[in-house]
Homo-oligomer: A and B are copies of this chain.
Amino acid sequence: MGLSEFELIERYFSSGTIRREDVLVGIGDDAALLQVLPDHDVVSAMKTLVEGVHFERGAKPQALGHRVLAIALSRLAATGATPAWVTLSLALPEADAAWLARFSAAFTALAQRYQVQLVGGDTVCGPLSITVVASGFVPRGQALQRGGARAGDLIYVTGTLGEAGLALLAERGAVHLPQKLRAKFRARLDQPQPRVAEAQALRHLATAATDLPNGLEQGLGELLDASAVGATLYLRELPLLPETTAWLPAAGGPKFALHAGGDYELCLTIPAKHQAAAEAAFSTLDCGCTWIGMVETTPGLRCVLEDGSLNTLR
């Protein structure tokens, strides 16, 4: 490509990125140099998106710039970490100035919102793909993991489920949403909101957490496996928008919201003794947080359907 790595980064990313005090050396040197608060640990999550696999050819660069960073921040959020630093590797077939301007504008806008500084990366020629490593910190011993859930814990999920999944079905022509609803759900798919503040607010109360890139059933399943416990969910408790509920039959039935991915909500487990404190904390969250089931000693994941029957999910 015509521009050197540094020229590219300087032109499109450097001006838009914030300057954190804990970044001693950022873009432009051999490596980033970062200062970590005393008594804090570092948390780091990596995500790659490939054209033709994770997004369609010709996908809008502004959607990609937001999405790839949001997905990495979402993984970080699941630990309760405060995001701080990001590195970005861009493989581009050519140095397309208009593409880069839009990608970097969306990327840096989201980075600013979460006070994340772009501290380094790599820019190479190749089939379009994007790798982000988001890092941050958490007070020592307070990081949430998948493996901490205990029998008797209450299971909660942030926000609402199923909208991104319906948007995907609409893109594929499998459901025919009205134009306005399709745009609303599509925004959910393109612009996931990492639940950073939510996890931080619940960090001291939860025993385990994970985000849900591939839907509730898979994400919660992995959390239960890591914790060596099982659970029962209540399908009627799942947080769905009324518009989502209306389109469930077209999407294959009421269990659709269990499988639908891309919403990037968090699933958390909270001991019963912290229920009141957690629900008080939820009331301060914009996105809300809903009780959906219970952790149990019996392995596996079960779901009570709307007719009261019990269905084994895994």
Contact = CB atoms under 8 A, between A and B. Distances in A.
Contacts of A140: 35
A120 B119 CA distance: 19
A279 interface: no
A24 interface: yes
* Residue from the set A48, A50, A140, A210 with the largest chain B CB neighbour count within 10 Å: A48
A46 B121 contact: yes
B41 A34 contact: yes
Nearest to A138: B33
A122 B47 CA distance: 6
Interface residues of A, number: 58
Q: How many copies are assembled?
A: 2
Contacts of A75: 30-31
Given A31-B76, A48-B91, A75-B31, A41 B53 contact: no
A299 interface: no
Given A91-B50, A122-B48, A146 B42 contact: no
A87 interface: yes
Contact of A45 (B43, B46, B76, B120): B120
Interface string A81-92: 100010111010
* Residue from the set A31, A46, A125 with the largest chain B CB neighbour count within 10 Å: A31
Interface stretch (A107-115, A127-135, A184-192, A246-254): A127-135
A50 B120 CA distance: 18
Interface of A: 24-25, 28-36, 38, 40-54, 75-76, 78-79, 81, 85, 87-89, 91, 119-122, 124-127, 129, 131, 133, 135, 138, 140, 143, 145-147, 210-211, 226
